[in-house]
Chain A
Amino acid sequence: MTLEWAEATMGMFHLQLNVLAHIFKSHYGSETDRWSLSRMIKLLSYDANKFWNKTERLVKDFNRCFDFFNLVLDGCILAAVFRLCPIDIGSILQPERLIAAVTDLSHELSDYSAVSSMRCREGQDRDVGEENLLLFVQEGLMLRHLSLAIHQGDSGRVINALSYFTVWFQGTGAHNYGAETLRLTACLRKLWSPRLKTFWMENGCLVNISRKREAFVALDCLNEYIVREVKNMVANVVTPQTDHHLRNVLSLLVLIFWDIRKKMSEEMDIYISDYHSSKVEHRTESRLVRDYILCSRLMRRGGDRDSLPSARDLEVKDAFMSGLHELAKTQRIVNLQRSLWENCRDMIMDEIDNSHSPSDGE
């Protein structure tokens, strides 16, 4: 029997989860840093143990962790806009000025060599906190780009975000994800036929089962739902009978159960809370982060160097630029080619066997 029919690809939900974990790992820092997530957790009086495992450096609760990340990122973006468009009390801001500020900021934040340039400055001119903050915003926007592309169901934007993360992962210590993103990018850009690539983009990446706008999820995220439902149906006392019933009857009906709950809620005109959730707004927290950044002069744009605080942060690795350097060394690409050849070898051997099989009359 052969298993060469299987073409395995990584799911986007777990990619998103790991990007978030690496951002947390890189920017967690300590409470005494001028800029770090640890400092923000203290500022907002959050309990980090609820969503982040400090010892194993893993995301405990993705939703909580992502929520915290989003409110901090919003605060950072607000601070950056305020820096470009300071508003005095009682004054009226012209929309044109704000539009120009957003345009300038988008250029600045999509320049991934900016931090490298800042790090070339000499001693007193450098502000590691500012560099780390810029890195956080850039990486955060990349993650938000991926997350939004998934929810809005645009697999073209998912591939766009993937092209950045492919480079970015080469610069982090996550070698497995580095190799896997390289492989997926190679498949999408070169190795898969256009028909297979289109099929993956239309079906193999995202799914929407409710027909609602912005209700797309990654395929592996849908599978997490199925796993959770099956897990909840495991009987407290497992016997051969209950085990068989679970695995061969109930597991097959997970989505029929979902359908019937939905159907009944429609028929009865009732609101089932687990189908909808509204987020609690986080404007107050984001404004707090914004005020902290502005008061700490973390975004000074060159000037005001004399008043640099004495606290010195640890430098966060610029993963994107490091990733570019790693790719330039080509060793990873050679390793990928080797691994792809290993996979293909038995396929090719099969093809040769088939072409020389006795049924061909040879």
Chain B
Amino acid sequence: MASQSPEEAFRRKSPRSTSFSNMNYAETPLDYCFEVNAGGRPGYADPHLLTERLSLLNDYASTLGFVSLFDACLSEARLHHRNGAADPNIENFVNSGCLEELFDIFGKRNKTIDIECCRAAEGIYVSEFDKIRQLDVMNQSISLWKADYMSAFNFNDLHSAMRQSAPNLVGLLERLAVPQRGVNIVSPTALPTKYRRVVVMVIAVLAQTRNPSTNFVQAMFSIFLFASKVPKRVLGSLSHVGLCTSYSSVRSALKSAAADSRKRLRGLGAGEMAFITVFDNLTKQMNVRDRRLVNNPEFLTLTAGFVLLPPASRSSPIFSRQDIRTDLISSLRACDFVPSDDDFGVMRQTVAALVASVVKDFASDFHIESSDLNFPMPDIFPIDASFTPEILPLPTYDKDEGIVHDMVDILYSIQSDVGLKEEQRRHSVSILGGDLATVANIRYAMTLSGGLIFGSEGRSSSKRRRQTI
């Protein structure tokens, strides 16, 4: 390609230029008029005679009272800002990425200008950050525990809410967190979860620094650390860098959650639905460092348990005494306790399935494929695992279930804690479970509270219980 002389370049006709002689404009030193058509985009100016054109424009701007073209631009932007109307020219300029390029060019030339550019964007980031701080999900108070907090704590949901309120701030943090290559941050849904977690944590720490009440994320972390048996001093240290709340906040959160749990327990009786209570003894040896006559190691004996509330699909109204058919007691015969023919059939099928499963585990020893053996386990009354019951732990009672008077107190405490009404206490039946000793002691306590003493049959009258009697 033959090189073009400056003279020729000067005289070359631009595709967007029109011969001045054909138009009705005032004469310019450039001989041509440059006209932008309707489809013209900012940032794509005709390069032909660019320097000369810009020089001409600057001269013209100075004759109109502007120091430079930038000064004229600022004046125009101010004018439109004051009018409150969006200028399509400015919007078009920004949307085409020209403003970003302008900042970039300024930044490379001069660090001071770089700082100025960032400072110019500060207002946008700060206003977006304030919007995040106002989000309801960030301001949930953990000291007023609600059951749905567990589901509300979700990094993806938090990230989406933050991105919606503050696209630029979250976008900036994503840009900082994500490596330049290999990760698509254009689409928020395509952003890997690990980056979302980081962005949420950074914003959460900053938000809590601004306002200590904006601490939902930190509070959940604090309870998690407490539940993981992290020492108190670790919680204290982490709270000073904004990663979790203080230990006193954790304690108030726990108290609130416990009160919520107790309220839920108390409402069981009013619900009129059947539930099951299970409890057992808890024994722990409490040692002493310096053993003395009055300072000896001793056993701490408590009683811990829970209440099971079935899922709606398996729930039933509370049972009455008529559900225990006492009139059939006298009709019990030996044949009622012996496995029936059906039971034998089930047992045979089960034994075949169990033997076959062992053979399958050792299929290589028999040189066979495990699929060759098909002995299914019988299904009689399978429980649907997809519906889980609600488990409500009971308060721990400072009572020893092995002492009959304590057992009476435990049962009274349970009936009070689950909110059994007087009517229900008199006419309803609720299942209580536990190990053999618990069950025997419950029955014994029941007879004692009713003024009756059991016969010795079938009871393991422990030494301790006899002493109590």
Contacts and interface: CB of A to CB of B under 8 A. Distances in A.
A73 to B, nearest CB: 8
A187 B443 CA distance: 15
A263 B337 contact: no
B229 interface: yes
A259 B229 CA distance: 14
Given A87-B366, A166-B337, A324-B338, A232 B361 contact: no
Contacts of B439: 8-10, 180
Nearest to A255: B391
A166 B426 CA distance: 32
Given A223-B434, A345-B452, A191 B321 contact: no
B29 interface: no
Contact of B458 (A3, A179, A232): A179
A350 B428 CA distance: 12
Interface string A30-47: 000000000000000000
B337 A193 contact: no
Interface centre among A95, A141, A196, A210 (most CB of B within 10 A): A196
Interface stretch (B19-27, B205-213, B375-383): B375-383
A219 B324 contact: no
A293 interface: no
Contacts of B254: 249-250, 253
Contact of A342 (B227, B304, B310, B447): B447
Interface string A192-216: 1101101111111011111111011
Interface string B290-333: 00000000001010111010100010100101111110111111
A81 B450 contact: no
Interface string B338-362: 1110011011111110111011011
A2 interface: yes
A7 B324 contact: yes
Interface string B360-389: 011001111100110101111111011011
B442 A154 contact: no
Given A195-B316, A227-B304, A190 B328 contact: yes
B184 to A, nearest CB: 19
A10 B377 contact: no
Interface of B: 150, 153-155, 193-194, 197, 220, 223-224, 226-229, 254-255, 257-258, 261-262, 265, 274, 276, 278-282, 284, 286, 300, 302, 304-306, 308, 310, 314, 316, 319, 321-326, 328-334, 336-340, 343-344, 346-352, 354-356, 358-359, 361-362, 365-369, 372-373, 375, 377-383, 385-386, 388-389, 391-398, 408, 411-412, 415, 420, 424-426, 428-436, 438-440, 442-443, 445-447, 449-452, 454-455, 457-460
Contact of A78 (B304, B316, B358): B358
A260 B262 contact: no
A110 B436 contact: no
Contacts of A336: 332, 458
B384 to A, nearest CB: 8
Q: Is the interface of A mostly helix, strand, loop or mixed?
A: helix
A144 B286 CA distance: 38
Interface string A140-172: 010011001000111111011001101100000
23 contacts: A2-B450, A11-B435, A81-B355, A98-B368, A98-B373, A106-B352, A110-B344, A153-B385, A154-B382, A157-B377, A189-B337, A190-B336, A203-B310, A216-B385, A226-B304, A226-B306, A249-B255, A249-B258, A255-B391, A260-B227, A337-B329, A341-B329, A348-B326
Interface centre among A201, A260, A324 (most CB of B within 10 A): A260
Contacts of B155: 267
